[in-house]
Structure 1
Amino acid sequence: MSVGDPMTPVLPSFSARRNLREEIIETLRAAVISGQLRPGVVYSAPSLAEQFGVSSTPVREAMLDLVREGLVEAVRNKGFRVTELSEQDLDDITHLRALIEIPTVRRIAEDGVDPAVVERLRPLAAGIEDAARRQDLIAHVAIDMEFHLTLLGLTGNSYLVETVRSLRSRSRIYGLSILAAHDQLVPSSQEHAELLDLIEAGDTDGAEELMRRHMGHVRGIWAGESGAEQH
């Protein structure tokens, strides 16, 4: 994969970042989910490492972790290829996520959340919106993942959180670039702050309805332009 290849994703440099391997795994996972790394294209660890500004070793280790997660597959003597999901796969993932996340958010609102905890989530909500405004799709997906998993973590159920993490990781939302191009990504991103307002107010019906609407965006955008145009 050459640097001039149109399929080459724009990746950040992590030369000065802590927890390098985890940062790389998080970014590569987000690149897969957002479609910046596309199925059918073979990506080599050295070429990705060059974009990160690091050695090949942590990138190769990160990609092997994603192999174990089922997000990519190793291509012998060449690199790694993103696994492709069918429309049915993506529908099933979205359906399962909705079954778990929507009622869980309602229960969190019912149980009540310490305002101090809500305030700790607000920077993540702001970060999602900021990434949307900058059209940084990889950062948008990564922060969005952190926000929702942190919110679900308020249940104290680590199995639930890990299940949703796996489902979200397997998702594909290729339409993000289309939404960004049509200035539709920011309004969707603003729903995170609105959700926190509803939870803090104890508005269970409002929180459930917003989460249902928020989840409804997923099925509309994963497929790309045709889905994005519906929202």
Structure 2
Amino acid sequence: MAATRLAQRPQLSEEVADHVRTRIMSGEVRPGDFIRLDETAAALGVSVTPVREALLTLRGEGLVDLVPRRGYLVSPMSRQDVEDIFWLQARLSKRIVDRAITRFDEAALENHARLVEDFETAAVTGDPDRVVSAQYAIHRSINRASRSDKLSRFLNNAARYMPYRLYAEDPDWRSTALEDNRRMLEALRTGDVETAHAVVDREFTNGADLLIAHLQRAGVWDEDRDEDRGATLVAQA
């Protein structure tokens, strides 16, 4: 893992948690792998304290387990777990869209259209950071229009599990996302709830399928490897 330096900010442990969470959800570290405090701190250029706090957060999310006298290791994750994460996001998103679609005024629609254009520009350049930022802005626009603060927070918490750069680096995903963003914009303009729901369903179904396929290729569900690792941990306990 290449060394990086995160600025010393109050939310530093949250940034460390985001970093480790992304490594887990992208298959860079796999179930049964240990997350070393010292190695992670050195790679990010931070002290051990925010790393420990981050791992406590991830333990609460069910992404890592604490093994006495050994440290933290990545928890098991099934295909169903991934499907459930995306199913939840789709359900919450539909509820938010139902409220937002009646509350977009002309100014908000013009702003949303500019955000779609920003995404198109980012998608053409292929810059993953710009793509992630542009897509986030589009979703935030809809969330704000819904005036459903608590529901939007629940959705943001579920969205933390998505390794956005994995998608942003995929040209096919960018092309599909642009098409979906345009369809959603038109649905918001015309009040077409059915199309808006169809866009949400496709976005999260495709997202789940892409991530499951990626994790499969990464060997996250390598049954022989999992059995060997489980036997080793039992013997060392």
TM-score by length of 2: 0.66
Amino acid at match of 1:15: A
Q: 2:142 aligns with which of 143, 151, 155?
A: 151
Query: What amino acid sits opposite 2:146 in the alignment?
Result: T
Partner of 2:226: none
Q: So what's the TM-score if we normalise by structure 1?
A: 0.68
Report Cα offsets for 1:35-93 as digits up to 9, x if no partner. Answer: 33332211112111111111111111111111112222223333322222222333333
Is there any run of 5+ residues in structure 2 with no aligned partner, and where? 218-237
Letter paired with 1:213: R
The equivalent of 2:203 in structure 1 is 214
Q: Distance in 2 between matches of 1:103 and 1:122?
A: 22
CA, structure 1 residues 227+65, in 2 after alignment: closer, same or farther (shift >3 Å)?
A: closer
- The AA in structure 1 aligned to 2:172 is Q
Say yes or no: does 1:163 pair with 2:151: no
Superposed displacement of residue 144, structure 1: 5.6
Match of 1:74 among 66, 81, 84: 66
Paired with 1:70 and 1:102, the residues of 2 have a C-alpha distance of 26
Name the counterpart of 1:45: 37
> Hey, what's the Cα distance between the residues in 1 that align with 2:183 and 2:3?
30
Identity %: 23
Structure 1 segments unaligned to the other structure (5+ residues):
1-7
2:99 to 88, 93, 107: 107
Per the TM alignment, residue 153 of structure 1 is displaced from its structure 2 partner at its CA by 4.6
- SS of residue matched to 1:70: coil
SS at match of 1:104: helix
SS across alignment from 2:65: strand
Residue 176 of structure 1 is matched in structure 2 by: 166
CA contact (8 A) 1:13 1:53 kept: yes
Letter of the structure 2 residue corresponding to residue 156 of structure 1? R
Question: CA separation of 1:200/1:11 partners in 2, compared to 1, >3 Å: closer, same or farther?
Answer: farther
Contact 1:115 1:200 in 2 (8 A): no
The one-letter code of the counterpart of 1:207 is A
Output the CA distance in 2 between the equivalents of 1:148 and 1:17. 26
Count of aligned positions: 215
- Give the conservation status (yes or no) of the 8 Å contact 1:122–1:193: no
Aligned to 1:92: 84
Distance 1:141 1:29, change over 3 A: farther
Cα displacement string for residues 119-176 of structure 1 (whole angstroms, at most 9, x for unaligned residues): 38939x749956x93456xx9778866764663354333432343334334x566993
Among 34, 53, 57, the residue aligned to 1:61: 53
The more displaced of 203-212 and 193-202 is 193-202
Q: Which amino acid aligns with 1:186?
A: R
Give per-residue Cα distances to partners, 1:75-122, cap 9 Å, x unaligned: 333332222222233333333332332343243123325635873893
Paired residue for 2:228?
none
Tell me, in whole angstroms, the C-alpha distance in 2 between the residues paired with 1:216 and 1:76.
38
Match of 1:27 in 2: 19
Q: More displaced, 32-41 or 12-21?
A: 12-21
Calculate the aligned-residue CA RMSD, in Å: 4.2
Distance 1:174 1:14, change over 3 A: closer
Question: Secondary structure of the equivalent of 1:222?
Answer: helix
